[in-house]
A and B are shown apart, each in its own frame.
Chain A
Amino acid sequence: ETGVTQTPRHLVMGMTNKKSLKCEQHLGHNAMYWYKQSAKKPLELMFVYSLEERVENNSVPSRFSPECPNSSHLFLHLHTLQPEDSALYLCASSQDQRISTDTQYFGPGTRLTVL
């Protein structure tokens, strides 16, 4: 058990839809992350939250909007996505994002398909 859960596991949406991905961690960690995993690219860091404050935003298009209401929950709100946004979206948590050797614990991911 990883202690990080993600819902839904699969999502198909049209380009005009609005949907949200949810992540919950049960590990008591202070940092949470969103990553995008595409077939032909390395795992890409999208956002980092530490103690509910956004500390990293890696030039992600505004059609992706993160929200971290508390240290256990992380959302990724999606609107007017493009087909190239289809990917596996992974959530992770760690104790302290300032520590380079900090272990990240990943959820199982949400497989997103944009039609």
Chain B
Amino acid sequence: TQLLEQSPQFLSIQEGENLTVYCNSSSVFSSLQWYRQEPGEGPVLLVTVVTGGEVKKLKRLTFQFGDARKDSSLHITAAQPGDTGLYLCAGAPDKLIFGTGTRLQVFP
């Protein structure tokens, strides 16, 4: 069974701090997606990465796909309260498998 482990599980930080969330697996994925889920809502896609070593930037968010396509990271620079939510990675060997999630709280 393929499993995507995310770390940390919970993160509570002050506005302006930087943070990194990790998504790791022992399996190779053809692509990997990151979603953010806010309270009372469903997950919303942030980015899709498909090439080993690929780096994508979305404003203050930087996403990286590992060279071996088994892991990924999400780095947020100068976090803001609006970044609060549950961050989910999701890998696709064939069907989409979701990670264990990282719950981020950013305090003003």
Contact = CB atoms under 8 A, between A and B. Distances in A.
A binds B: yes
Interface of A: 2, 4, 42-45, 48, 56, 90-92, 97, 100-101, 103-109
A14 B94 CA distance: 37
B95 A56 contact: yes
Contacts of B77: none
A83 B65 CA distance: 39
Contacts of A101: 31, 33, 48, 50, 92
Nearest to A58: B95
Nearest to A103: B45
Interface of B: 4, 30-31, 33, 40-45, 48, 50, 88, 90, 92-101
Contacts of A45: 95-97
Instruction: Tell me the dominant secondary structure on chain B's binding face.
Output: loop
Contacts of A107: 42
B91 to A, nearest CB: 9
A106 B48 contact: no
Contact of A43 (B88, B93, B95): B88
A109 B31 CA distance: 25
B101 A42 contact: yes
Given A42-B100, A42-B101, A43-B98, A4 B92 contact: no
A106 B92 CA distance: 17
30 contacts: A2-B42, A2-B44, A4-B42, A42-B97, A42-B98, A42-B99, A42-B100, A43-B90, A43-B98, A43-B101, A45-B95, A45-B96, A48-B95, A56-B95, A90-B42, A90-B43, A92-B42, A100-B94, A100-B96, A101-B48, A101-B92, A103-B45, A103-B48, A104-B43, A104-B45, A104-B96, A106-B41, A106-B43, A108-B41, A108-B42
